[in-house]
Amino acid sequence: MGTESSYTVDSTETSLTILETLIESNDPVGVTAIAESVEVSKSVVHNHLSTLCNQGYVVHRDDQYEPALETLTLGSRTRARLPVYRNGRKQIDTLAAATDRAATLFVLEETNIVPVYIAEPTDGWSPEFFEGEPLPLYTNAPGKAIMASLPPEEVTALLDNISLTEITEATITDREELDLYIENIRDEEIVFSKGEHYNGIVGVAAAIAPSERNRAAAIAVHGRSDRLNGRHLSEDIAGQVLSIANSIRADLT
Amino acid sequence: MGTESSYTVDSTETSLTILETLIESNDPVGVTAIAESVEVSKSVVHNHLSTLCNQGYVVHRDDQYEPALETLTLGSRTRARLPVYRNGRKQIDTLAAATDRAATLFVLEETNIVPVYIAEPTDGWSPEFFEGEPLPLYTNAPGKAIMASLPPEEVTALLDNISLTEITEATITDREELDLYIENIRDEEIVFSKGEHYNGIVGVAAAIAPSERNRAAAIAVHGRSDRLNGRHLSEDIAGQVLSIANSIRADLT
DNA sequence: TAAACCTGTTCATTCGTGCAGAACAACGAC
DNA sequence: GTCGTTGTTCTGCACGAATGAACAGGTTTA
């Protein structure tokens, strides 16, 4: 893991940086603005944008540039490789509909979990994170559920490669405390979290343990703590999360 | 439109080609295989892969490379810019649930339509196309519905930039015939298609006309012709497509 | 056991190309 | 009209990306 190679291609990096800049700025943007933001000359930005346009990842209109919708292919085809997504997606939809809260499917990748599919409630709060945005393992319910579903030696291997930094006041930043916590939830089927990544947001998660051909995954329901609490959270919601998790597990044969 | 610039960055192109190669091969793949496929030397492939790994778009395990789930961020954040997606997504879900067929939201980009959100039926056939994969305007119902919703001069501007090639026997390849067809459906609210892009697949579509701040879009229901036909198609399904289209239009204020 | 053949990775060298910066063109504001 | 902008083009130079061979592992073959 993590053997950072020194031989890299600089121009690819700047191209990707430019593309990311386009995506982060939520409106069409011009060459000079990008040049200032990325700190390269205008002509360079122009060349990279032309390249990205030719490849179909950027569109050009009225001296302004925007990320192209074709960027969706990369991700949609990548996640379509995951059996847990292909089989589990509809179950996430029903989980969101049944609980009327945001339901998400997470998959372990490297030392992070990545939300692979987010089903939003018909109305109300939706998660701040995006599909594809890596999240740390230790600041949320699905991450902890996944860790508890892995063999202990794999967990230590993962945790040895990351540092525990505080996101909110509720984040566990002490390694021993975290190890102990994971041991304690090892026999549980459901993991709760309260505001360890986003203040005022609670979550219920259940892991889908890895197998021969499937990566470690987890499903979760998130919501604002004022609308998701008490027995409703710990019994109703948790029960539904658990039953959907079992159902997805069963479908993976 | 289409002023292809000659000043481009070659290494960016090869990086993206390598990434696309990884995505198309549905399994983890090694350096030499990519080198053969892209026709560059192994060391070059290695350097580009290292770069893509560092940027988070490729993951490296056991001498094998795979596209990273983080590729999802690009597309998910790009489509989140579209008001029609943010407001219409749930409606597409209900359309798919109500008809128990695949329902899709398309958006016009350059001279293509791009599926931005696909809701699959609880069981049964799902479209062959991926979210983000550009489709020609003239081979399917949503494309034609969009053209019929645009001012005629814009349609001719679009069609002047593409060539009509035959995909299946049902594809309209004659420009005059296509122009006439579009004129004929101009007053209709619903457009049908039968196997013009995929054999044996029929579709019903309704356009969401462009406005000041929203691009031209369309919604559609697709299915296999043996299970989607006759009065069921032309009345039941069409009616639901229409009512959802109206609802999305209304939500866009 | 050892040699032949796979991998993926590293390395020096050389050639090509991506880069900066200035000049250009096209538009808008004052 | 002129001075701001903008995006685009162009040229020379220097840096860096590509080459192709050598290296380090592992697995198969004799």
pLDDT at A4: 47
What CA–CA distance (Å, rounded) separates A199 from B249? 35
When scoring A62, A73, A128, A130 by the number of chain B Cβ atoms within 10 A, the one with the most, hence best to mutate, is A73
Q: Report the C-alpha gap between A58 and A76 in whole angstroms.
A: 17
State the number of CA atoms in the 13 A half-sphere of A184 facing the CB.
8
Give the Cα separation of B128 and B195 in Å (integer). Answer: 13
Separation of alpha carbons B122 and A89, rounded Å = 10
* Burial category of A25 from C-beta neighbours within 10 Å (exposed 0-12, middle 13-18, buried 19 and up): middle
pLDDT the model gives residue A2 = 37
Q: For residue B101, is pLDDT > 70?
A: yes
Tell me which chain A residue has its CA closest to the CA of residue B61.
A1
pLDDT digits over B143-157, tens only? 999 999 999 999 999
pLDDT greater than 80 at residue B103: yes
Q: What is the pLDDT of residue B230?
A: 66
Q: What is the pLDDT of residue B6?
A: 66
- In this predicted structure, the answer to whether residue A1 has a pLDDT above a threshold of 50 is no
Query: Which band of pLDDT confidence, cut at 50, 70 and 90, is reported for residue B234?
Result: low
The pTM for the full model equals: 0.92
pLDDT of the residue at A197:
80
Domains of chain B by range and CATH?
10-69 (1.10.10.10), 76-251 (3.30.450.40)
**Backbone torsion region of residue A4, taken as left when φ is above 0, otherwise alpha when ψ lies between -120 and 50, otherwise beta:** beta
Residue of chain B with shortest Cα separation from A53: B4
Q: B100 in contact with A at a CB cutoff of 8 Å?
A: no
- What is the average per-residue pLDDT within A110-127? 92
Please report which confidence band the pLDDT of residue B76 belongs to, taking 50, 70 and 90 as the band edges: very high
Predicted local distance difference test score (pLDDT) of residue A9: 96
- Contact between chains at A131 and B73 (C-beta distance less than 8 A): yes
Select from B200, B65, B53, B62 the least CA-distant residue to B125. Answer: B200
B250–chain A Cβ distance below 8 A for any pair:
no
**How far A10 CA lies from chain B's nearest CA (Å)?**
8
The pLDDT of residue B195 is 79
